[in-house]
Structure 1
Amino acid sequence: MPLIQFHLVEGEYSDEQLRTLLERGSAAYAEVLESPVDRIRAFVTLHAAAHWAIGGQPDEPAGRRSPYFSAVMMAERPADQRRRALAVMTDLVVEVLGVERNRVRGSINRVAAEDWAIGGVPASVIRAAEVEQRKAASGAGVAAS
């Protein structure tokens, strides 16, 4: 379920920087959430410079880059994970893209498990099934002892 998206002005970064951002961003987000990395979805969305404004003025490449990232996570996640995700993603954007820290913006968008679908099934239903499977597996181990 976890999703991270980076919004950037197109043409300002190399494919290698974008690939690094996706790879390291996925790994970092998985670590923060204590989640398997294969559950993380990461995207870079590139916007034409003419479609990007700061203070109502079109962004100019000369030192005005202001990347934005957003992360989706389950509403039940604790505040410390949300704060760590914001800090870690900001650090990553600064390091990989070489932008000034004070220009980076980010948000955490919390979603209730019943409002997020995986394969068309609410995550709350999938989670309940996973909990039951774990209970059944641990019960089978106890019965076999």
Structure 2
Amino acid sequence: MPILEYHLTENQYSDAQCEKLLVESSKLYAEILKSPLDRVRVVIHEHKASKVAVGGVMMNQGGKSAPFFFFLALLGRPENERHALLTGFTDLVVNILGAERAAVRGGCWTIPPEDWAIGGTPASVLRAAEVRARAEAAAKTQP
């Protein structure tokens, strides 16, 4: 399920920076979720400067760079993992792309396992044991 999308303004970052962001993000995602690396998908969407406004100022008219990202996680993933990913992906954008931390935005979209397919089969079926173990662990930490 680990899918991450970055949204950047085109021609602001080198191919080497983008490649490093993709690879390091993949490793971080797998490490934090304790997931096999081959499950991870990371993409960069580049948008024309004439199609991006930040704070009401068009990027092609001097707008300030403000990368954003969002990632998917199966419902039931612990909050500490989701927060570690939010922080970690932000750190990578800051350290690799040189973005101002305060300008970076990120979000986590959670999806119920029955609404996510892996090879056409719901994750609730394929990953039933993993999902159950996470739910049981979460229940133990609830007051």
TM-score range (shorter-chain normalised) is 0.7 to 0.9
Q: Deviations over 1:69-121 (max 9, x none)?
A: 11101111011011100000000000000111001000001011001111111
Q: Which runs of 5+ in 2 are unaligned?
A: 132-143
How many residues align? The count is: 131
CA–CA distance in 2 between the matches of 1:12 and 1:63?
12
Q: TM-score, normalization: structure 1?
A: 0.84
* Aligned positions of 1:43-58 closer than 5 A: 43-58=43-58
Contact 2:54 2:63 in 1 (8 A): no
Match of 2:114 in 1: 114
CA–CA distance in 2 between the matches of 1:85 and 1:63?
27
Q: Could you tell me which amino acid in structure 1 is paired with residue 124 of structure 2?
A: S
Match of 2:137 in 1: none
* Aligned positions of 1:1-145 closer than 5 A: 1-60=1-60, 64-128=64-128
CA–CA distance in 2 between the matches of 1:29 and 1:12?
24
3-state SS, counterpart of residue 73 of structure 1: strand
Contact 1:8 1:44 in 2 (8 A): yes
CA–CA distance in 2 between the matches of 1:37 and 1:129?
19
Shift of 1:56: 2.7
CA-based RMSD: 1.8
Match of 2:135 in 1: none
Contact 1:12 1:61 in 2 (8 A): no
Contact 2:6 2:45 in 1 (8 A): yes
CA–CA distance in 1 between the matches of 2:113 and 2:48?
34
Q: Could you tell me which amino acid in structure 1 is paired with residue 29 of structure 2?
A: Y
Shift of 1:62: 5.2
Structure label with greater radius of gyration: 1
CA–CA distance in 2 between the matches of 1:129 and 1:105?
33
Q: TM-score, normalization: structure 2?
A: 0.86
Match of 2:134 in 1: none
3-state SS, counterpart of residue 20 of structure 2: helix
